[in-house]
Structure 1
Amino acid sequence: MAFVLGTTSGGTGRHVRMLTEGLVKLGHQVLVVGPPSVEERFAFTGAGARFVPVPVSDRPHPLNDARAVLALRRLTRNADAVHAHGLRAGALAALAAPALPARGGRAPLVVTLHNALTAGGFVGLVYGTLERIVARRADRVLVVSPDLGERMERLGAGDVRPAVVPAPPLRPARRTPEEVRADLGAGERPIVLTVARLAQQKGLENLLDAARGPWAGGGRETVTPGASAGPSGESSGRGRPLFVVAGEGPLREALQRRIDAEALPVMLLGERDDVPDLLAAATVVVWTSRWEGQPLSLSETLMAGRPVVATAVGGIPDLLGGAGRLVPYGDAGALRSAVRELVEDPRAAARMAEAAARRGAELPDAADAVADVLAGYGKPRSYGR
């Protein structure tokens, strides 16, 4: 089996690592092809795969792309199946696919699309070209949301199916919610948590709009990590939430400037390795995204049994399965109202937490994902069975 992926630092790499581990345990030989950075971050060789570096960048580069196609053609020549993850990787693998002989004919090419474009202009034009290449040349396209599937079918894809993209088991929290609150300086204030990359797709400007108020509990204030949130009953009263964002990205400086200028009750924590701790301490967890597929952080939140408010975009409604509150993208008022209801009504929050935990227990696991891709490759679950 050969996996092809481009530059990634998040869910796509974690997903390929999970599939690699599962296939190796079942006795399959796995080759992973991608830029050196993905091996450094996800250690596919540590999962038992062979890794070969090939520059599959996130931006078009004619010379490098031509070299990548030739390398993919050579490296995957004898693969039983080629599975590319992401549009760029999928298009390059599709261009290499005609020269991929295997027993009984060409090896099947499967492409999983993990993201949708949320920008236009020249980038949108290039993106559309890559989509058409994948739609016309891939044997099967797996998608993380219904809208992606409909788009690929319109472009001519003959076999489009939902992708199974589970989150890994959620590790237990290492600290108590009280310890997390103390570290954040939250006092008794409700914590509204967002786990997201600070990028255009995540719509975080709407989170700041919602945080601006009006809220119960007094005037505006900003809180810095480790600072006191103020004595209970003063301006940091329980009715005024503290918005906490775990993640890093290119919009950090712009978001921080606005937080400072408007004295918003929002903390940008940067990259965190204690998300389970933050989830356990959160009153509600929020997504403000322009588009999402099947975000692993949302699956983790459901498994943690935390109340969810999210935008009704992409694959979120299907993943949530009614176990949370959906709001229109860009409607800061609706977002604020949904959060306020959960903050002010502990019984409603408890009911939603119970629904989230039930939904989290229903979600597919790694074994389901491995079985699904093997079926897509036309392979049994394991050799000898």
Structure 2
Amino acid sequence: MTQLRTVQVLGGGGAGSSAHVRSLAAGLVARGVRVTVCAPAELDRTHDFLGAGAHVVPMPPRNDPLTVGALRAVCAGADVVHAHGLNAGVRSALALAAHRVPLVVTWHTRPHAEGARGHVLRLMERKAARAADVVLATSSELVDRARRRGARDARLGAVTLPPPSGLGDLPGEKARAELGAVGRPLVVTAGPLEPYRGYGALLDASRRWLGHDPVPLVAVAGDGPRRAALQRRVDTEGLPVRLLGARGDVAQLLAAADVAVLAGRWEARAPLAQAALRLGVPLVATAVGGVPELVGDAAELVPYGDSVRLAAAVSRLLADPARHAELAAAGPRQAATWPTEEETIAQVLSVYDELRAGRGRHLPDW
């Protein structure tokens, strides 16, 4: 059989999906697959797909005719096209509309918009789901969602990200000193500053920690449209919170933390949760989406938007060394139950081989 040729398509590319494509590209190239990555140029600068052995075609995250046409030309010689995320899935479906190149779409997350925008995104989900030969979804809930949107073949494709690396010697002391958290507890979270990420509840919780002695410092790594509003709250209310902006050293920050927090309205296989458990950092997370499936008993789970429960869970961990140590030990054990990078790559490759071996691509009935 001739060399397998695959095109990996990224849209805006969240941290998890971009890291997954980097891992996937490296693993596929190592197995003799020819990989082309179509992604915004800034993602290659961050994730170095070229360094993984892939051919890289810079492509903006748009669905206009020019971009779709460029993607169509790149995909013309492919055996399988694999899109990651909703926008990439729709763009790939448009590019392959009249071709029988098999299409795999990985759903890493779900849309969070409401109203008219939410309606448009649900239509996009339906288009991407029905156009795909196989939808790989990163949580059981997303598998069910893809099926409701019309996917003919939706499977669990649990994405395990590479373990944190390059932490160096004594990263905790250095990071804590830089943040001003020497002699006080450090609570770390990370992610885009969007409304659905639950930062409002986290700031409400931080106000309750003002009565602690010493007062915990909350470090938030990430940027986004909510930053100015959140900073105003921090300044006006005197909250013990530092908004750090976008950071490339989230693993180092987590390694320095006493507790990690994930407060969002919905998550699948959250990169922060994966990193925290692997590093043995006790995690407090909202019981939403794929989080309970991911963390098992290795984290404290609280309802979304409940700042009282969130504050209390973090306070208990900071005040109870035995429970803190219990979760610190449970995290790596839970992480050991997740699929390895090798198993993740092997699953994807088996899907490619299945499609290449004989299932001609259906033409979507949009």
TM-score by length of 2: 0.90
- The aligned residue for residue 155 of structure 1 is 149
1:96, distance to aligned residue in structure 2 (A): 2.5
- Identical pairs, percent: 46
1:272, distance to aligned residue in structure 2 (A): 2.7
- The aligned residue for residue 146 of structure 1 is 140
Q: Distance in 1 between matches of 2:266 and 2:168?
A: 29
| 2:75 counterpart of 1:76 | yes
Choose which of 255, 261, 264 in structure 1 pairs with 2:236: 261
The answer to whether the Cα contact below 8 Å between 2:83 and 2:104 also exists between their aligned partners in 1 is: yes
Q: From the superposition, tell whether residues 173 and 359 of structure 1 become closer, same or farther in structure 2 (CA, over 3 Å).
A: farther
Give the match's secondary structure for 2:261: strand
The 5-angstrom pairing of residues 333-352 of structure 1 reads 333-352=308-327
Give the match's secondary structure for 2:33: coil
Deviations 1:70-90 (A, max 9, x none): 333222122111100110110
| 2:242 counterpart of 1:242 | no
Q: From the superposition, tell whether residues 365 and 341 of structure 1 become closer, same or farther in structure 2 (CA, over 3 Å).
A: same
Deviations 1:1-30 (A, max 9, x none): 111111225221111111111111111111
1:264, distance to aligned residue in structure 2 (A): 0.6
Aligned residues: 349
The answer to whether the Cα contact below 8 Å between 1:77 and 1:99 also exists between their aligned partners in 2 is: no
1:36, distance to aligned residue in structure 2 (A): 2.8
Structure ID, larger Rg? 1
Give the match's secondary structure for 1:254: helix
Q: From the superposition, tell whether residues 55 and 271 of structure 1 become closer, same or farther in structure 2 (CA, over 3 Å).
A: closer
Deviations 1:93-126 (A, max 9, x none): 12232433xxxxx332100111211121222122
Give unmatched runs, 5+ long, in structure 2. Answer: 1-5, 356-366
- The aligned residue for residue 96 of structure 2 is 97
Q: Distance in 2 between matches of 1:122 and 1:203?
A: 22
- The aligned residue for residue 14 of structure 1 is 19
- The aligned residue for residue 315 of structure 1 is 290
The answer to whether the Cα contact below 8 Å between 2:159 and 2:269 also exists between their aligned partners in 1 is: yes
TM-score by length of 1: 0.85
1:360, distance to aligned residue in structure 2 (A): 2.1
| 2:40 counterpart of 1:35 | yes
Between stretches 251-260 and 89-98, larger displacement belongs to 89-98
The answer to whether the Cα contact below 8 Å between 1:2 and 1:82 also exists between their aligned partners in 2 is: yes
Between stretches 64-73 and 82-91, larger displacement belongs to 64-73
| 2:58 counterpart of 1:53 | yes
Choose which of 123, 147, 150 in structure 1 pairs with 2:117: 123
The answer to whether the Cα contact below 8 Å between 1:173 and 1:280 also exists between their aligned partners in 2 is: no
- The aligned residue for residue 209 of structure 1 is 204
Q: From the superposition, tell whether residues 52 and 343 of structure 1 become closer, same or farther in structure 2 (CA, over 3 Å).
A: same
Q: From the superposition, tell whether residues 173 and 308 of structure 1 become closer, same or farther in structure 2 (CA, over 3 Å).
A: farther
Q: Distance in 1 between matches of 2:298 and 2:194?
A: 26
Q: From the superposition, tell whether residues 304 and 156 of structure 1 become closer, same or farther in structure 2 (CA, over 3 Å).
A: same
The 5-angstrom pairing of residues 289-304 of structure 1 reads 289-304=264-279
Q: From the superposition, tell whether residues 30 and 337 of structure 1 become closer, same or farther in structure 2 (CA, over 3 Å).
A: same
Task: State the Cα RMSD in Å.
Answer: 1.9
| 2:85 counterpart of 1:86 | yes
